[in-house]
Amino acid sequence: MIVGVGIDLINIQRIQKVLDRFGSRFENRVFSSEEINRSRRKYDKASSYAKRWAAKEACSKALGIGLRMGISWKEMNITNLQSGKPILKIEGKAQLILKKITPKGYKARIHVSLTDDYPWAKALVMIEAI
């Protein structure tokens, strides 16, 4: 059963402006070291960061909360399998909220899809109870 769905759309140019202005200060505030390493290797790192930003926003929506409600950006980590498929791992307060919204006797599975078409990046997060 579906217990949460979130979607977010962000302008890649907006992320590029933030990177230009704040650089590593922004990266370290919002992204894990794994996300930073992956994004810095990309030709268009702003696009990579924008997709991950959108996924974090979409995740907070799927959890039924906002980022200002006690969870931090770094509690949501978007990585990739060797195949390239994105995966979303959560920890801390976000993990506690996930347990709270998952019905008793079920296990939560998080699905994430990322896409971009300059100047837009989009993410969809779906939380399934299995």
13: domain CATH number is 3.90.470.20
Residues in the chain: 130
Over residues 113-130, the pLDDT tens digits come to 999 999 999 999 999 999
Over residues 44-86, the pLDDT tens digits come to 999 999 999 999 999 999 999 876 667 889 999 999 999 999 9
Q: How many domains does the chain have?
A: 1
Per-state percent for the chain, helix, strand, coil, to nearest 5: 45, 30, 25
The pTM assigned to this predicted structure is 0.94
Over residues 12-43, the pLDDT tens digits come to 999 999 999 999 999 999 999 999 999 999 99
